[in-house]
Amino acid sequence: MNFKDKTIIITGASSGIGKALAGELAQRGANLVLGARQYVTLCEIAANLEAKYAIKALAVQCDVSKEEDCELLIKQAVETFGKVDILINNAGLSMRALFQDLDLSIIKNLMDVNFWGAVYCTKYALPEILKTKGSIVAVSSIAGYRGLPGRTGYSSSKFAMNGFMEALRTELLKTGVHVMVVCPGFTTSNIRVAALAKDGVAHGETSMEEGNMMTAEEVASRISDGVFKRKRTLVMTSQGKLAVWMNKFFPAFTDKKVFELFAKEKNALIK
């Protein structure tokens, strides 16, 4: 399942799942365009991957909430490699606060990064991906299928992302372009540490027990396999699959079970 000579753009590539994807896809032979706000970190990652796997990796400073940054990311990919085969919309931001307590700017921030970031990058990459009949991937969440307490902005942004990708997939049905939505479930990454509290400041600690969660590397491997096999949807955990199924057929019961689950997290917001 190699990606030799493929050009792959990854947003949010400086840490977590994005960084793990860069390593996994470099190992499989892909040339990479890595986008994130942390430019120095990106350059270090790119240099390490080039040295280790003899591929080419381009670091591009990019804040996906800014349309012009997303346009530049795609433009630099094309200027450097001459094509785009795969776009992985991975950049994301989370939150943890009750809706009644939070500043509304937090929800706007999450929509700008999680939803609009994917829209901007996809808009500018699509003409190139149509040429290569490549793939557009969105790293979403179970929160995009089932609203989670304390995560109103996060769930909203992921629901919007899922709807956008589903509509886009249908539009592109006869073009040969592959569209995949990925729902990793709870993963050991820094997204919960960086999650915004009610005042917009990062929590700085996770609210969940991470010992039994999937690693970012395992998620990256499964996403890479899914792209290679041109899967439609990738819900990775049994808990996630059960949540999607139960929410569809037993929504009121699922409300209660989700409440009970989140009432058990550290410093629970609901009781």
Active site residues: 154
CB contact at 8 A, 34 and 60: yes
CB contact at 8 A, 1 and 225: yes
**Which alpha helices (DSSP H) does the chain contain, by range?**
16-27, 39-53, 67-81, 104-110, 117-132, 152-171, 216-228, 238-249, 251-262
Q: Which residue has the tokens 């010992």?
A: 211
CB contact at 8 A, 217 and 207: no
Q: Which amino acid is at 55?
A: I
Query: Among residues 55, 56, 72, 52, which one has the least CA distance to residue 11?
Result: 72
Interstrand relation of 135-139 and 86-89 (parallel, antiparallel or unpaired): parallel
Q: How far apart are CA 191 and CA 198, in angstroms?
A: 16
Give the rounded distance of the alpha carbon of 124 from its chain centre. 18
Angstrom CA distances, 118 to 65, 125, 137, 196, stand at 9, 10, 9, 20
Tokens of 269: 């917001």
Q: How many C-beta neighbours within 10 Å does residue 148 have?
A: 18
CB contact at 8 A, 270 and 259: yes
Q: How far apart are CA 123 and CA 119, in angstroms?
A: 6
